[in-house]
Amino acid sequence: MAHPRSRLAPDATIELAHGSGGKAMRTLIEEVFVSAFDNPDLAALEDQALLGMVELAAQGDRLAFTTDTYVVDPLFFPGGDIGTLAVAGTVNDLAVGGARPLYLSCSVVLEEGLSVQTLRRVVESMRRTALAAGVRIVTGDTKVVERGSADKLFINTAGIGVVPRGVSISQANARPGDVIIVNGRLGDHGTAVLIARNQLALQSDVESDCQPLNGLVAAMLAVCPGIHCLRDATRGGVATVLNEFAQASHIGIRIRESAVPLREEVKGACEILGLDPLYLANEGKLVAVVPPWAAAGVLAAMRSHPAGEHAAIIGEVSEEPAGTVIMDSVFGGQRVVDMLVGEQLPRIC
């Protein structure tokens, strides 16, 4: 990136002055954020973005509004970084409500001493991901805290989208007979971050699956506007999402271990560490519950979209046992796939 007339030195680091409200902050905002996100709403540098209601109303009958804060260690990992996450995560939270994501905010908390170079890399990822998702980052905020008061960089994004008339997706909508579909291989993000932390002396080519899913969801809704449940399987993984569906809809869920799509590397890492891939975090995977008559069509639509190439049906909804997820093991037995009590911790033996 070239920065003509730049007043920020290439090797600059973040100082408390960059959050003080004065000239230094203005320079940082203009040269790092406004120039990258490049849109008239943001460039106006008002305290708020104004969104036209007529334009919004033309696209649907409800607004979807969500917010999420992103903290990840390390900031950069194979397949993405905190910037990719901050845009894709919020876009996905809107998309799985059936909404067309339109606008995002971007608030950052910077630790004194962070290199501006690092910040630029993250902002560039945000720009690229927003472009891919077709959303605009229209408002934001910058705070700087003393060294040690935060870990390098935290990002909050809030998002607004519009839900088309007739679309009604909720975790409480699953019905007996419905089919459970995931859009690809599970656990890539959790595995990539675990390995990037470099505590394991493991090496692999696994990359985070971090990606916006609004295009995929639009393709799914085009063939079946009556999708019952949809949720992105981030922290807590697919197991947690399925339990949330089972409890909110008062139904049972039965999945088949042999049908769950997994990379060999992810399987291997889980075997070594005693982790269960169903609980590993994803950043570009969703779980859909669709009526049985629509399942084949939705699956085909997913597989013809780049974000759903490896989509698979992994199970069905049953009446009983309500509130419970059961998995038929590859071995012919069964087990309950429960909510985790806390964080998943590696077993020692």
Partner 1 sequence: MKYMDEFRDPSKARSLAREIRALVGRIPRARQRPLQIMEVCGGHTHSIFRYGIQQLLPDEVEFIHGPGCPVCVLPMGRVDDCVALARRPEVIFTTFGDAMRVPGSKMSLLKAKADGADVRMVYSPLDALQIARAHPDREVIFFGLGFETTMPSTAMTVLEARRAGIGNFTLFCNHITIIPTIKAILDSPDMHLDGFLGPGHVSMVIGTRPYGFIAQHYHKPITVAGFEPLDVLQSVWMVLRQIAEGRCEVENQYGRIVPEQGNAQALGAIREVFELREFFEWRGLGSIDHSGVRLRAAYAEFDAERRFPVPNLKIADPRACQCGEVLKGVIKPRDCKVFGTACTPQMPLGSLMVSSEGACAAYYNYGRIHGASA
Distance of alpha carbon 69 from alpha carbon 81, whole angstroms:
14
Distance of alpha carbon 323 from alpha carbon 243, whole angstroms:
7
List 61, 205, 264, 309, residue binding partner 1 (CB under 8 A): 264
Shortest Å distance, C-beta 331 to partner 1: 4
List 25, 29, 200, 219, residue binding partner 1 (CB under 8 A): 200
Cis check: omega of the bond before 10, within 30 degrees of 0: no
List 20, 48, 67, 329, residue binding partner 1 (CB under 8 A): 329
Token pair of 229 as six digits: 């449940």
Shortest Å distance, C-beta 192 to partner 1: 17
Stretch that binds partner 1, among 133-141, 227-235, 284-292, 322-330 (CB under 8 A): 322-330
Instruction: Give whichever of 55 and 271 is closer to partner 1, judged by the CB atom.
Output: 271
List 38, 271, 296, 304, residue binding partner 1 (CB under 8 A): 271
Q: H helices within 58-179, ranges in order?
A: 82-95, 116-133
Stretch that binds partner 1, among 133-141, 213-221, 239-247, 320-328 (CB under 8 A): 320-328
Instruction: Give whichever of 168 and 247 is closer to partner 1, judged by the CB atom.
Output: 247
Distance of alpha carbon 238 from alpha carbon 244, whole angstroms:
10
Distance of alpha carbon 78 from alpha carbon 194, whole angstroms:
11
Chain position carrying tokens 């799985």: 96
Query: Which is it for strands 136-145 and 100-111: parallel, antiparallel or unpaired?
Result: parallel
Question: How many residues interact with partner 1 (rule CB under 8 A)?
Answer: 30
- Cβ atoms within 10 Å, residue 58: 9
Stretch that binds partner 1, among 10-18, 136-144, 234-242, 334-342 (CB under 8 A): 334-342
Bridge partner list, 111: 145
- Residues forming contacts to partner 1 in the complex (CB under 8 A) are 199-200, 252, 264, 267-268, 271, 273-274, 320-322, 324, 326, 329-336, 338, 341-342, 345-349
